[in-house]
Amino acid sequence: MSHLELENLQVVEMDAGTVFSGQPSGRMIQGFAAPCAYTPDPDPDYQFHETMREIIVWFMQQADPLYVFGPTGSGKTSLIRQLAAKLNYPVLDVTGHARLEFTDLVGHLSLEEGRMTFQYGPLALALKFGGLFLLNELDLLDPATLSGLNGILDGDPLCIPENGGEVIKPHPMFRFVATANTNGGSDETGLYQGTLRQNLAFMDRFWLCEVDYPAKEAELRLLARTASLLPEAVRETMVEFAGEVRRLFRGFGDTQTPLGESIEVTFSTRTLLRWADLTLRFQPLAHQGVQPVSYALDRALGFRATRETRSMLHELAQRMFPSADAPTGAQNQDVS
Sequential DSSP letters for 218-238: HHHHHHHHH-TTS-HHHHHHH
d(CA 264, CA 63): 36
Predicted confidence (pLDDT) at residue 257 exceeds the cutoff of 50: no
Q: pLDDT of 61-109, one tens digit each?
A: 877 899 999 888 888 999 999 999 999 999 999 998 878 888 899 998 8
Predicted confidence (pLDDT) at residue 6 exceeds the cutoff of 80: yes
What is the arithmetic mean of pLDDT over 230-258?
83
d(CA 113, CA 115): 6
Phi, psi at residue 334, to the nearest 5°? Answer: -90, 130
**Single-letter amino acid code for the residue at 5:** E
Q: pLDDT of 163-219, one tens digit each?
A: 989 999 999 999 999 998 876 555 555 555 545 556 677 788 899 999 999 899 999
Q: How far is CA 43 from the centre of its chain?
A: 14
Predicted confidence (pLDDT) at residue 227 exceeds the cutoff of 80: yes
50 three-state secondary structure = coil
In this predicted structure, what is the pLDDT of residue 137?
Answer: 87
d(CA 113, CA 286): 61
Predicted confidence (pLDDT) at residue 117 exceeds the cutoff of 60: yes
Of the pLDDT bands very low, low, confident and very high (cuts 50, 70, 90), residue 110 is: confident
**Single-letter amino acid code for the residue at 306:** T
In this predicted structure, what is the pLDDT of residue 91?
Answer: 97
- The backbone region for 26, taken as left when phi is positive above 0, alpha when psi lies in -120 to 50, beta otherwise, is left
DSSP 156: P
Of 4-18, 139-153, 313-327, which range is least confident?
313-327
The reported pTM is: 0.82
Q: Is 91 exposed, middle or buried, given 0-12, 13-18 or 19+ CB atoms closer than 10 A?
A: buried
Q: pLDDT of 25-40, one tens digit each?
A: 999 999 999 999 999 9
In this predicted structure, what is the pLDDT of residue 203?
Answer: 83
**Are 87 and 31 spatial neighbours (Cβ–Cβ below 8 Å)?**
yes
DSSP 108: E
Q: Which residues lie closer than 8 Å to 190 by C-beta, 6 or more apart?
A: 262
- Cα dihedral across residues 269, 271, 277, 283: positive or negative: negative
In this predicted structure, what is the pLDDT of residue 166?
Answer: 93
In this predicted structure, what is the pLDDT of residue 230?
Answer: 96
d(CA 171, CA 126): 8
d(CA 333, CA 325): 9
**How do beta strands 115-120 and 107-112 pair?**
antiparallel
**Are 247 and 89 spatial neighbours (Cβ–Cβ below 8 Å)?**
no
Phi, psi at residue 135, to the nearest 5°? Answer: -105, 100
Predicted confidence (pLDDT) at residue 329 exceeds the cutoff of 70: no
Task: Measure the CA angle with vertex 104, ends 102 and 109; round to 5°.
Answer: 105
d(CA 265, CA 205): 32
In sequence order, which ranges of the chain are alpha helices (DSSP H)?
3-7, 16-20, 52-59, 76-86, 102-106, 122-129, 143-146, 150-153, 200-203, 216-226, 232-249, 269-281, 292-300, 307-320
Q: Is 113 exposed, middle or buried, given 0-12, 13-18 or 19+ CB atoms closer than 10 A?
A: exposed
Helix (H) or strand (E) holding 121: none
Q: Which residues lie closer than 8 Å to 19 by C-beta, 6 or more apart?
A: 29, 31, 86, 87
Helix (H) or strand (E) holding 35: none
